[in-house]
Structure 1
Amino acid sequence: MIPDIDSRLSRNILKSISYGLPLAEVVPDHTYAQLETRLGELKRRYLELRISHGARELPFSNYLFYLILQSRHQEFDFKLRQGNSVVTNIHRFKSKGRIPSLTTLLLADAVNAKSELELKHPDIPQLDRHARDIERWLAAGNVMPPSERALRGLVEALERAAGEGRPLHLVSAVCPDYSHSSDAEGKPRYTFERVGDQPGLAGAKLVSAGQAVAELARARQVEIRHAILGGEFEYLSFNRNPATGETREGFLGKVERQLERIAGALPCPAATCSFFEMCGGEDGWHQAHGEIVQRLEQGDYGQTGLDYPALESIFLSRLPLYEKWFASQSREQIWASFVSQAAEYALMGKLFGERFDNFVVLAVDHYRMEPFYSFFATVPTLYIRTDYL
């Protein structure tokens, strides 16, 4: 057990090592007796690095100590910025409300470094049990940093999966395989001229994240299943463009084949579902959807936490897409289409909650639409990064 060395004593110890002064003169007797061997080893490593750097001037006074700390604890990192200012992540080692001194960290065999998620969301219970694996999943799966609500829901779902053996369902609603082109920067842009039966832009993003999902399941020793749903209800909005010439049956058939291809490409167990079937048929979907549209038009935004200015902000962020999707419509008609789509998200969130008892949404659409999933109840939603419009 390494005694806690306060910042003042730490500075004196490191200065003595730097200048080759006797440590016994600055360290209290009882502390020196405990740490003599470790302090001697630290001094030896410092001198080795000092010799290897030769006569070169060090970038800053603690540079060699930072290199030693980095070699001992891989979580530690530092960067030298312009003007020789130094930025470190030593805050990750914070414990019981305070950051240990540099000397304490240098002498310790092991330290408890908090993850970035733990530092950002300190009030989420049990996050420390899962944070490292979640961070690896976010990076490997190209998933956006989650909101507090989404991360809390994910941790709770992982806890249920681990403690009760209940599978964790990652539920994804996937945009149909609409045609697209590339802009001047090479980024894909939907043209909405036709629809195919391949995974599409959204489905490909989900498939590319599949291996990271499987690795998360192995790391946490839980069962993760995918539930893949398609935009079968979008055939109405797709056919508002008279140039598409797609029949209802043709559109729905392509969506069904698209989902089967996506499910077959995922390493974790995956099943496809139908929104229409979950509503007892297409008429049930349209009736439930129409009721939500009416509530939104009356200014009732459910549990989304939105008000009208926030709604308008989301609309403006989506306008470039809608102007391509609904090319022949007026601004008022496009607004109505946006409200209709918001209602679709609200209904999807409701159906997810009714169908799955331990789930989070893994979305491949635009993150600004996230609040609508929680129109009826909180729906934790994580987003895979997308680059298409």
Structure 2
Amino acid sequence: MSQSLAHYYVRNKLTHKLISKRVLSPISLSQQPPADLVQALCIESEVSKLSAVYAQFQHSDDGHTGLPRYMPFYRFIQSKFPGFQWQVRSTQGKKTLILDKPYINQSRPSLLNLLLCAINDNTATTPALKVRYPAMRELPDELVVDLEQAFERLSFAQSAPHFVARFAQALAKGLAGETITLVSPVCPDYGYENKNGRLRYTFEHLGEGIGLVAGRVVKTLPDLQAVLQKHGIDARIAVAAGDFEGFDASTLNRLKETREGFAHKLRISQQKILDALGPGAESIMIAEAAGGEDCWHALTAEAQRRLAHQDNGCIVEDDLDYASIFSARLPLYQAWHQQRSNEELMQILYAQGAEYAAIGKVFAQQWTNPIVIGADHNRMQPFYWLYSTIPVLYLTRVY
């Protein structure tokens, strides 16, 4: 910016916010903005249009609502950018607006820049996901916008950039013609209760229906599949049952089930899940897919040995904060494994982390391009990467 505009500087700076204020505030008062600033910005023709727009979108009661005097500008922007939204907040009788501006050219524009784009019908925006996750920039905007809406609609948790990068790479393969499989591991239909508005497992019985986690999966997978298919991606869906949980004697005792009874109920549940998902959905038993009980135990023992020796494979450094993961999982472990010390429960976390690592390995061998959609607790997400960088996204937890 020219040094001739130094008198507009505040603390030796002339920010985009200051420029917006210097130009727009006079217009909102039916005055002309500073001519030297307008000339330096090369917006002489746009200023007269902004004045006309302000008058056109002004409401007769604007002076009595207590809303900011820029409201006509906001209404005009919204007419050009439907994604431009605001929230009204009142503090001590004074109303302020919290603006949600779209991204343009990978960044949030100033109010003046947004108005200039609207005036000139330059309404191309950058999906927020592409700004938050640079790895998504290689995907078509239309697909990313639909994913953005799906993630919000289906309540996806925010993942670390490296997980989203692998997700984006898998989608790129799908766009190139390869088949993608959306797969979710699901818990058996354990008993649960609603306590103070929060769902909580009780593990007091085992049902034959669609369990707590599976219920989220049934709503999520077909929706996400439809989004991908809309953009030409051959996306299949699969559910993987935790049959290995029926190998644990303490779990069976707690549920008052035999191995045979556990397996029988699990298969009934899986069929109900498949029926709910519709034609084309696939179901596997995780330990069965690993080669059976002995193979499963060998696989998890190897994973647990590696984790115990901090041989973390592909897991990103700093992702394994055992203390915070344990804190997040503690309520579940206390309900599942009653009357055990924290030291004993910590060993359960290590064992469960090994199970997630083993699940990741089984899925990577079962399908060419799997994308894991987790619905239990996203703090277990890092363990999937012990053996390979399998794409993993998580929903917000339901319990």
Tell me if structure 2 keeps the 8 A contact 1:227–1:270. Answer: yes
> 5+ unaligned residues in a row in structure 1: which ranges?
1-5
- Whole-Å separation in 2 of the counterparts to 1:281 and 1:32: 72
Taking the aligned partners of 2:21 and 2:394, their CA distance within structure 1 comes to: 45
- Please say if residues 118 and 128 of structure 1, whose CA atoms lie closer than 8 Å, have aligned partners that are also in contact: no
Amino acid at match of 2:80: R
Give the letter for the 1:111 counterpart: T
Q: 2:180 aligns with which of 153, 156, 168?
A: 168
SS in 1 for 2:83: coil
In the other structure, the counterpart of 1:111 is 123
Distance 1:53 1:148 in 2: 47
**Aligned-pair CA distance for 1:288:** 1.5
User: Percent of aligned positions with the same letter in both sequences?
Assistant: 28
Whether 1:200 and 2:211 are equivalent positions in the alignment is yes
The CA deviation at 1:217 is 2.6
Letter in 2 for 1:146: S
Q: Deviations over 1:87-135 (max 9, x none)?
A: 4333622458975724412312132222221221235441453320111
Quote how far apart the aligned CAs of 1:237 are: 2.9
Q: 2-side partners of 1:376 and 1:90: how far apart?
A: 41
Moved more, 267-276 or 351-360: 267-276
- The equivalences for 1:83-232 within 5 A come to 85-90=96-101, 92-94=103-105, 101-127=113-139, 129=141, 130-163=143-176, 165-183=177-195, 185-232=196-243
- The equivalent position to 2:28 in structure 1, one of 18, 22, 33, is 18
2:90 corresponds to 1:77: no
Distance (whole Å) between structure 2 residues aligned to residue 194 and residue 349 of structure 1: 28
Counterpart of 2:76 (choices 54, 61, 68) is 68
Which secondary structure state, in structure 1, belongs to the residue aligned with residue 393 of structure 2? strand
TM-score normalised by L of structure 1: 0.84
Q: What is the identity, as a one-letter code, of the residue corresponding to 1:155?
A: A
Question: Cα offset for 1:51?
Answer: 5.3
Q: Counterpart of 1:227 in 2: which secondary structure?
A: strand
CA contact (8 A) 1:238 1:244 kept: no
Instruction: Describe the SS at the equivalent of 2:253.
Output: coil
Provide the C-alpha distance between the structure 1 equivalents of 2:275 and 2:355, rounded to a whole number of angstroms. Answer: 26
> CA deviation digits over 1:119-171, x for unaligned, max 9?
212354414533201111112222222321222222222221122x2221111
State the distance in 2 between where 1:243 and 1:124 align.
45
Residues 79 and 268 (structure 1 numbering): CA distance in 2 closer, same or farther, change over 3 Å? Answer: farther
- Cα deviation, residue 301, structure 1: 3.0
How far 1:314 moved relative to its partner? Answer: 1.3
1:111 counterpart SS class: coil
Distance of 2:282 and 2:362 partners within structure 1 = 16
Larger RCO: 1 or 2 (CA < 8 Å, sep 6+): 1
Equivalent of 2:269, from 239, 258, 262? 258
Deviations 1:54-85 (A, max 9, x none): 65376334221111111221122234444555
2:245 maps to 234
Looking at structure 2, the residues matched to 97 and 292 of structure 1 have their Cα atoms a distance apart, in angstroms, of 44
* Alignment length (residue pairs): 378
Question: Residue 290 of structure 1 corresponds to which residue in structure 2?
Answer: 301
